[in-house]
Amino acid sequence: MMSFPAQALREQFPALTRAGGSIFFDNAAGAQVPQVVLDAVNRHLVEHNVQRGGRYSQSMAVDDTIARSRASVAAFINARRTEEIAFGMNATSFIRLISLAVGQTLAERNEIVVTDLDHEANIATWLVLEKMGAKFVWWKFRADGCLHTEDLQPLLSSRTRLVACTLASNALGSIVDVRAAADLAHAAGAEVFLDSVHYGPHAPIDVQAFDCDYLVASGYKIFAPHMGFLWGRYELLEALPTFREDFIPDEPPGKIEAGTFIYENVAGMDAAIHYLAQVGRTLGGKPGAPDAQSLGEDARVAMKAIRAYERGLSLDLLRMLKDNRAQIYGIDTEARISERVPTVCFNMPGVLPQDVTEAAARAGIGIRDGHMYSPRLMKRLGLAKETGAVRVSLVHYNTAAEIHRLGEVLGDL
């Protein structure tokens, strides 16, 4: 943790430098953005806030922005082709788009595996396909708050069409062994759909290493504005039936991008990836700025360093919560710290979750209480949807000193 330049990086985030003593511990609901992202969004709005596809310079600049951003995201997640990247409003809308398309292709393979660890967006969007003949099989997490791939094996059969699961729980922070899940699913002839929204700011995303078939993410958790992107194997996207206007070619990515998305936010996503890549170059001792050839590798260096630094944050957070007699849900042992990200749900004995978050708010610390958009998970934990739990969610610009300040609040409670 001592070697990671968290304090220097904090200075690149205007929200952190202007917030005074406020602490952002609600990053699972959206992270802050560095100055380079703000500059990219502002530059787009000032210099070429027009529609793409025109023959004049400002419109052609929008085309260039989209192409550059598509290449950056492809490099960031190690896609095989830039055409496999589609931009849109958010991850939920992309999950719904793919679920509708999959629903139209159900035949003898009509079973979809869903989990009770996931955000509701990656559950309800699939369950609605029951009207189209889909059947559902539940892959349930164990008492440790984790999905175990040995529990997936008996759920798969010749009827399995798709397995939909998260990379990391937005409530418990548990990381899923998605490569092992993909190996099992593919052996059964099924496809794999991954929700990487919560995982995105914490570790490298590599669609080839995961061997998944579809993946969604949201920029607002990866230090960019609100936007979403979808990756899919080109041949699968090409075959899916989707809505498109007549003038749009029936091929990716156009057939996936219904309507006009927010170009300035896509420019911000490109800038966020360059921010991470620059962190990687700095940590690797490389001079200059990242270019198109180095971008992916530079970003992966940064994400690996972030992953290592955040393990330390997770350790500090768990120790602090245990010192304050909190009930931690999910992985709470130091020996398994590498199986989680620094997102923790907990409750304090005899104190309502909302009272905890209000006490933290009075101390200038932003945390969250409730069901975390995972009501099925809360039910499994024996928690009421109306009250749920308290969640603290950290990213790489958070520090051990901030964790200590939260500890003081919990100590007073």
Any alpha helices (H) in 288-351, and if so which ranges? 295-323
Q: Within this chain, do residues 129 and 251 fall inside the same structural domain, yes or no?
A: yes
Residue ranges in the chain modelled with pLDDT below 50:
none
Q: Element (H or E) spanning 398, and its range?
A: none
Q: Burial code of 303-339, b = ≥16 C-beta within 10 A, e = fewer? A: bebbeebbbebbbbbbebbeebebebbbbbeeeebeb
> Looking at the structure, do residues 337 and 396 belong to the same domain, yes or no?
yes
Which pLDDT belongs to residue 247?
Answer: 87
Within-domain flag for 282: no
Residue with tokens 């992202």: 37
What's the rounded Cα separation, in Å, for the pair 311 and 325? 21
Is there a contact between 89 and 59 (Cβ–Cβ < 8 Å)? Answer: no
Is residue 133 left, alpha or beta, with left meaning phi > 0 and alpha meaning psi from -120 to 50? left
pLDDT of residue 311: 97
Q: Cα(221)–Cα(218) distance, rounded to whole angstroms? A: 6
Q: Domain total for the chain?
A: 2
Domain CATH code at residue 13: 3.90.1150.10
Contact of 198 with 343, CB cutoff 8 Å = yes
For the chain, how big is the Rg over CA atoms in Å?
21
* Domain presence at residue 289: no
- Is residue 255 in a domain? yes
Q: What is the domain-level CATH number for residue 103? A: 3.40.640.10
Residue 28 confidence (pLDDT): 97
57 alpha carbon, distance to own chain's centre: 35
Report which of 132, 151, 221, 142 is spatially closest to residue 174, judged by C-alpha positions.
142
Residue 293 domain-assigned (yes or no): no
Range of the domain at 350: 6-33+298-412
Say yes or no: 201 and 87 in one domain.
yes
| Cα 380 to Cα 216: distance, rounded to the nearest angstrom | 25
pLDDT of residue 249: 87
Q: Considering Cα of 152, then 392, then 373, then 168, what sign does the dihedral take?
A: negative
Round to whole Å and give the CA distance between 391 and 407.
14
Q: For residue 278, is it within any domain?
A: no
Q: Is residue 115 part of a domain?
A: yes
What six digits make up the tokens of 164?
């939909």
Two structure tokens written together for 385: 């949807």
Distance (Å, rounded) from C-alpha 251 to C-alpha 229?
17
Statement to judge: residues 244 and 168 lie in one domain:
yes
Question: Do 351 and 230 have their domain in common?
Answer: no
pLDDT at 248: 87
Q: Which residues lie closer than 8 Å to 163 by C-beta, 6 or more apart?
A: 112, 113, 139, 152, 156, 181, 185, 190, 191, 192, 193
The reply to whether 27 and 51 lie within a common domain is no
Q: Are residues 230 and 368 in the same domain?
A: no
Domain end call among 271, 289, 311: 271
Q: Are residues 122 and 267 in the same domain?
A: yes
**Are residue 265 and residue 228 in the same domain, yes or no?**
yes
